[in-house]
Amino acid sequence: MQNVAFASETASDGATGPANQISVFDEYDDDMICENLEETSIAMDHAKESSTLLLKLAENMDGYSLDSSENENRPIYSKKIGNIDIGRIQVTIPSTSKYADVINTIWDYNDKQKLDDIFIIGT
């Protein structure tokens, strides 16, 4: 026999969300916010298509070759589809509390040219 408990409400004195939650509009510069609905729709369609392609590329390792890497713990794989070079890196993030830090290290909406060689190259 199992003892199972379900809760459907938050305690009256409990937190309802992260204490430091900020709006996505507060996080980025004003010039990064697009108010053109047609442009936004096109960007969302493009992101959806890109996401579908990335998920397909991640399904298996067919066609990837292992590239030499200075860091054995972060193998880098690559393959070529037509004239497009595809790179794949496999890493383990040791703690879920570090996900946001890792994303901020490799992706910055406010700096499109940002590149963190230490993370990418693995040195």
4 pLDDT tier (thresholds 50, 70, 90): very low
Confidence (pLDDT) at 48: 94
The Cα diameter of the chain in Å comes to: 59
Q: Are 28 and 109 in contact (CB under 8 A)?
A: yes
Q: Give me the number of domains the chain comprises.
A: 1
88: number of Cβ within 10 Å: 14
Q: Is residue 11 part of a domain?
A: no
Residue 8, pLDDT score: 47
Handedness of CA 103, 105, 108, 112 (dihedral sign): negative
34 vs 13, residue with greater confidence? 34
- Does 105 map to a domain? yes
Q: Is residue 35 part of a domain?
A: yes
Q: Convert the pLDDT of each residue in 20-60 to its tens digit.
A: 666 666 766 666 677 889 998 999 999 999 999 889 888 88
* Mean pLDDT estimate for the chain: 74
- Identify the domain containing residue 67 by its residue range: 24-121
Q: What is the pLDDT of residue 38?
A: 94
| Phi and psi torsions of 77, nearest 5° | -115, 155
Residues composing the chain: 123
Q: What pLDDT is attached to residue 49?
A: 94
Asked if residue 4 is part of any domain, the answer here is no
Task: Note if the pTM is more than 0.75.
Answer: no
